Amino acid sequence: MIRVLFCRSNRLRSWLVRAITWSAWSHVALVDGDEVIEAVWPQVRVVPLDNVLHHYSAHAFALLPCDDPAAALQAARSQVGKPYDWKALVGFLLHRDWEDPHAWFCSEIVPWAIHQSGHALFRPSVMRRVTPQHLWMVSREP
């Protein structure tokens, strides 16, 4: 199992993501000790967990199935500095595939990293369409 963080805020962007994805959460990130690996504008980054918690009005920790959490975290860290995939999000809303294979949004990088560790949460062909709600539905309480 790998630890993940689900978040939401009272900002318009968070509200829109939650409304469009039918989710209680607008953001998801991988937790690595006291750090978080996340895809946010403008790029994938590693930040202190406390900084992320301070930025959101509500959060929950959960566990996702993962055979090799260290490999998943290493895969996610290998993407640090890659751009945020805002075009894929717009395409998601318009039912278009505008995914950039070299860019990420939050709920896309999480299952991808887990898949790189040898555990597939979703079919590879649909990982670019995973929302925070999908991840929430397959997660477990810590």
Question: Would you state the structure tokens that stand for residue 123, as one six-digit string?
Answer: 């079919």
Report phi then psi at 9, rounded to 5. Answer: -135, 180
Q: How far apart are CA 39 and CA 106, in angstroms?
A: 5
Domain range summary for the chain, segments of one domain joined by +: 2-138
- Residue showing tokens 């199935």: 65
- Look at residue 123 and tell me whether its pLDDT is greater than 90: no
Which pLDDT value is given to residue 94? 57
Which pLDDT value is given to residue 27? 96
Which pLDDT value is given to residue 100? 62
- Look at residue 37 and tell me whether its pLDDT is greater than 80: yes
Q: Tell me the fold of 2-138.
A: endopeptidase fold (from Nostoc punctiforme) (3.90.1720)
**Mean of the pLDDT values across residues 59-70?**
97
Question: Would you state the structure tokens that stand for residue 86, as one six-digit string?
Answer: 């805002």
